[in-house]
Amino acid sequence: MDVLREPLYRTVRLIRRFEERAIELVRTGVIVGGIHPYIGQEAVAAGVCAALRDDDIVLSNHRNHGHALAKGSEPRRVMAELAGRITGIDNGRAGSLHISDYERGLYGATITVGHGAAIATGAAWAASRDGTDRVVASFIGDGAMNQGALLETMNLASLWRVPQLIIVENNLYATTQPVGASTAGSITGRAEAFGIPGRTVDGMDPEAVLEATTEAVQRARSGGGPSLLEFMTYRFDAHHTFEYRVRLRYRTQEEIDHWRERDPVVVQGSRIPDEAREHIDQEIEDVLADAVQFAQDSPKPDPADALEYLYATGLRPRPGVVS
């Protein structure tokens, strides 16, 4: 664990500062349509991905930037993607919502809440049936627990004993809905009903996340089947940056302040020497200065290419206007 102290700090700090820089670009109009900031939840992405191998697979959701960065995607190409530039990791076709990076095993971010976990089950089924020991981690939130397709796929994952990690980032709210008002019983109880081991873990501490995920990864890799990990976490910022304008009042300041006392960047930063932390911080500032510059300087796609990539076979559909 000690050997990962600095890398874990580096990841949570990178995600935090990446999101802060991205919010600046939302405010200045470089990123159009806003983002779902990951600020506050960084320990989950950092700890989970530190337990994975490079060739393991991740399925993400609308709050995906942290997952991509923790899985090793290049910050400048993620930032360019958010800004809709052709140098983006998905050639400017994913935006903030749908980041994928197949070189890093990130199979995509799908926003039909909870449904990405079923795509993950399919990848995990194929991975195991093809005789590999690769595992698939699917990130979902507490809101996903009430999607029928998620419950369907928990049944399939257990029945087929696939190497899947169902990572629940329980940040207490599905947009404005408190988890207690939307979810009967318990999240781990639902896993147990399907015969899937479930654990509730502190999601503000990267090392606690890493420890719990490592155990689940070992079980999956050795043929022991899926696990569900519920990480108790909190987003310090908005559900989406549109909240800056509409000022929703679904949480108290006291509650936000209470969770901020366990800021994962501070938690992990306190575990490494000041000198190392300052060095990492500076390095990240340089990386992100480059990323922002790269995003701003990169070209936008040519409107003539608006139908590119629609079909993997290159099929070009009929235009919308025929002269």
Nearer to other proteins, 245 or 318 (CB): 318
Is the Cβ–Cβ distance between 109 and 61 less than 8 Å? yes
Residue 88 is a binding residue for other proteins (CB under 8 A): yes
Residue closest to 116 by CA, chosen among 157, 73, 66, 55: 157
Strands 106-109 and 57-60: parallel
Residue 127 is a binding residue for other proteins (CB under 8 A): yes
Residue 98 is a binding residue for other proteins (CB under 8 A): yes
Least distance (Å) between residue 56 CB and other proteins? 12
d(C-alpha 23, C-alpha 54), whole Å: 29
Residues 199-258 close enough to bind other proteins by CB under 8 A: none
Which one of 92-100, 165-173, 255-263, 274-282 is the stretch in contact with other proteins (CB under 8 A)?
92-100
Nearer to other proteins, 115 or 277 (CB): 115
Which one of 5-13, 89-97, 198-206, 270-278 is the stretch in contact with other proteins (CB under 8 A)?
89-97
- Residue from 6, 21, 74, 156 binding other proteins (CB under 8 A): 156
Helix (H) or strand (E) holding 65: helix 65-71
Least distance (Å) between residue 279 CB and other proteins? 34
Residue 143 is a binding residue for other proteins (CB under 8 A): no
What is residue 29's DSSP assignment?
T
Residue 110 is a binding residue for other proteins (CB under 8 A): yes
**Six token digits for residue 225:** 């089947």
Residue closest to 269 by CA, chosen among 2, 13, 4: 13
Which one of 148-156, 218-226, 240-248, 272-280 is the stretch in contact with other proteins (CB under 8 A)?
148-156
| 3-state SS, residue 141 | strand
**Six token digits for residue 295:** 């995003």
Which one of 19-27, 236-244, 248-256, 310-318 is the stretch in contact with other proteins (CB under 8 A)?
310-318
Residue 313 is a binding residue for other proteins (CB under 8 A): yes
210, HSE (Cβ side, Cα atoms, 13 Å): 24
Residue 250 CB: number of other CB atoms within 10 A?
12
Strands 173-174 and 177-178: antiparallel
- Residue from 11, 73, 121, 298 binding other proteins (CB under 8 A): 121
Least distance (Å) between residue 64 CB and other proteins? 12
